[in-house]
Amino acid sequence: MIPPVRGNHRRATRPLRPAIEYAAKFSAQFVIVTRLRLGLFGLAELLPAALTDESTLALAARMRCEADPDSAFRPISRAVWTS
């Protein structure tokens, strides 16, 4: 099971292809996939070259965030991988 992505659901579903570093900071898909691929997420992962990394963007496109109906807390989202 993939652990929940915690945060406001609207923020968790920011664009999968963030054009600027500010948008990337709030794209749960981009942040999670970058962290999984590289083992870290820092300022370097917000540079323009990182925002256009096709491997990261392809994996991020396979992920979506949705509200967790079983959670006692609101709002909480969880990551769901699609094939």
* Mean pLDDT (whole number) for 14-39: 84
Quick one: tokens of 82?
Answer: 């699609």
**Percent residues over pLDDT 90 in the chain:** 34
Residue 67 scores a pLDDT above 50: yes
Query: Three-class SS of residue 77?
Result: strand
Cross-strand bridge partners of residue 6: 76
Cross-strand bridge partners of residue 81: 63
Q: Between these two residues, 72 and 20, which has the higher pLDDT value?
A: 20
